[in-house]
Amino acid sequence: MKIVSFTMVNNEAEIIESFVRYNYNFVDQMVIIDNGCTDNTIEIINRLKREEDYKIDVYDESLEVYDQFRLDNKYLKKILAEYNADIILPLDADEFISGEDNPRKILENLSLDSIYYVNWKWYVLTGDEDYSENFIPRRVMYHLKKRAWNLSDGTLVTKVIIPAKYFKDNKLTLTMGHHDIFGSNHINKKRLKNMWIAHYRAVSSKQIVSKTSTYVIRDIATMSNNIETAQRTNQLYDIKYNNGDVDSIARDVSYGGYEGEIEYEPLDLKFCSENTSNIRYNSLSNESMSDLLMRTGQEMAMRVYNLERKIKNRSLFKPTIFWLDGVRGEENLFPNPSVKLTLLTFKYNVQAYITEYKQIEFLKYNYRLIITPKNIKFLPHKYVVIPDENYLEIKNKLIDAGVGKKSIVSLREYKKKIGILGNIYANLCLLPRLISRIMQYVKRNGVSHAVEKIKSKLDK
């Protein structure tokens, strides 16, 4: 039996390694959807893949606003079509599957002709957590005695387990939050009493402050209705005005509006491998608030840049990103692209330039933003175009830095992809855009300066 989980992530660095190491004991493969992480979540996942051979596929949806319903169903369909899965587990990054027996054994013994439901054990902060413990289930060890319930009607919260063929044959759809399915009135539904999900809503005060701050910034930028996330704005208010007692706020947040007795029950690791609780990449999760806020601000700024470029763009080509082929300076570095690259920028729809030099990231040249590979996911592009010269060397650098190899093409390959008509169109675009650029420069600097500028460029 093949069991595949899928999870959408957004700034989960403090918990993601624990999540992967634990849940991987019970699945064959994981699918991770990156919805715009600005912390080291994806770097931690890549380390687990690269250095420890975890089978995890990461898909980038950084340009999409938060829309869990749409993205979950998009990737559920992809898994159904491409992964040959028998059972699919939709999991959030704060959810850990558990049971009276080995969860893998329980799943393998399920009949595949029903949709299954499990409940949450809701883990909470008490104030007595050992924050030197980096494996989350060994840090947060108390949960509400009662299984988590819907505050509206008192019914228990459910999470679904999906037999793949049954779901596909009945043309079902997953609801927001993975709590149910819909699409047919004739579905077998069964609740599993011997299996549950341990839910860690909050794992530290730092996590609550950072996620609340960055999520509110993102919520401002989305056009979707988001009153369901009012908890975030209320949390932000409490953080700002509740005498700075963030530990108390984090404890309240961990309860999620619930009240009730709690009991001590650490997550059972007896069905896990010996190295499950061995957290190796904790240094990547210890990012400062200032760094997290700065990167979130940079993400928002790049989204604004994308809107500006979309307004200015009059090309029929899909956006591309070109390799910045020149840098000058010693003490201070400056972008210094070749004349050839400048002309290519006028011909094609160049969204941005990519470089390995962090010192010049976020500068602009030819009105194009310069970015490093880590931020490429926030710029729309179909291809990353690199020079024919040193092609393999540059390509390998980009792949090592996390750029998807399928998107990387040489200039020669790119010209083939757009075809004869595309190249004719590009050449026709060159002259009017070049003249327009020269006239803009003349208007700002005068004829003599413009002539000198052109001469200096040609001398290069």
- With respect to residue 370, please indicate whether it lies within any of the assigned structural domains: yes
- With respect to residue 155, please indicate whether it lies within any of the assigned structural domains: yes
| pLDDT tens-digit map of 171-220 | 999 999 999 999 998 999 999 999 999 999 999 999 999 988 888 888 88
- With respect to residue 275, please indicate whether it lies within any of the assigned structural domains: no
pLDDT number for residue 442: 72
pLDDT number for residue 364: 96
The helix/strand/coil state of 244 is coil
- With respect to residue 378, please indicate whether it lies within any of the assigned structural domains: yes
Same domain, 249 and 369: no
Same domain, 317 and 184: no
Same domain, 343 and 233: no
Same domain, 240 and 389: no
Same domain, 167 and 48: yes
Q: CATH number of the domain at 318, please.
A: 3.40.50.720
* Cβ-Cβ contacts under 8 Å for 216 (sequence gap 6 or more): 232, 233, 236
Average pLDDT over residues 160-164: 98
- With respect to residue 446, please indicate whether it lies within any of the assigned structural domains: yes
pLDDT number for residue 372: 98
Same domain, 339 and 454: yes
Same domain, 234 and 327: no
| pLDDT for 312 beyond 90 | no
Average pLDDT over residues 326-353: 94
- With respect to residue 299, please indicate whether it lies within any of the assigned structural domains: no
- With respect to residue 278, please indicate whether it lies within any of the assigned structural domains: no
| pLDDT tens-digit map of 388-431 | 999 999 999 999 998 999 999 999 999 999 999 999 999 998 88
The total domain count for the chain is 2
| pLDDT for 227 beyond 90 | no
Q: Label the pairing between strands 327-328 and 368-371.
A: unpaired
Q: Which two tokens stand for residue 163?
A: 């037999």
Average pLDDT over residues 427-451: 76
If you average pLDDT over every residue of the chain, what do you get?
92
Helices (H) and strands (E) in the chain, counts: 14, 20
Neighbour count for residue 396 (Cβ, 10 Å) = 12
pLDDT number for residue 95: 98
Q: Which residues of 141-165 are buried (b: 16+ CB within 10 A; e: fewer)?
A: bbbbeebbbeeeeeeebbbbbbbbe
Residue 365's beta-bridge partner residues?
Answer: 368
The CA distance from 33 to 68, in Å, is: 10
Assign residue 34 a region: left if phi > 0, alpha if psi is -120 to 50, beta otherwise?
beta
1-5, 230-234, 310-314, 451-455, range with greatest mean pLDDT: 1-5
Contact status, residue 177 vs residue 68, Cβ threshold 8 Å: yes
| pLDDT tens-digit map of 62-114 | 998 888 899 999 999 999 999 999 999 999 999 999 999 999 999 999 999 99
Q: Which two tokens stand for residue 333?
A: 């570095």
Q: Which of 28-32, 136-140, 231-235 has the lowest mean pLDDT?
A: 231-235
pLDDT number for residue 224: 65
pTM of the predicted model, to two decimals?
Answer: 0.90
pLDDT number for residue 59: 96
| pLDDT for 313 beyond 90 | no
Q: CATH number of the domain at 99, please.
A: 3.90.550
pLDDT number for residue 240: 80
Neighbour count for residue 185 (Cβ, 10 Å) = 5
Same domain, 257 and 333: no
Same domain, 424 and 333: yes
| Side chain identity at residue 221, one-letter code | A
Same domain, 411 and 321: yes
The CA distance from 119 to 184, in Å, is: 22
pLDDT number for residue 453: 66
Task: Please tell me the chain's helix, strand, coil percentages from 3-state DSSP, rounded to the nearest 5.
Answer: 45, 20, 35
The CA distance from 165 to 27, in Å, is: 17
Q: Which domain holds residue 55?
A: 3-266+288-293
The CA distance from 364 to 327, in Å, is: 13
Same domain, 36 and 102: yes
Q: Which residues of 401-411 are buried (b: 16+ CB within 10 A; e: fewer)?
A: eebeeeebbbb
Query: Which of 17, 246, 214, 38 shows the shortest CA–CA distance to 125?
Result: 246
Same domain, 454 and 323: yes
Contact status, residue 408 vs residue 392, Cβ threshold 8 Å: no
Phi and psi of 158, rounded to 5°? -115, 155
Q: Label the pairing between strands 364-365 and 350-354.
A: unpaired
Task: DSSP letter for 367, please.
Answer: T
pLDDT number for residue 433: 79
Q: Is the dihedral of CA 198, 192, 175, 229 positive or negative?
A: negative
- With respect to residue 416, please indicate whether it lies within any of the assigned structural domains: yes
Q: Which of 27-41, 115-129, 225-239 has the lowest mean pLDDT?
A: 225-239
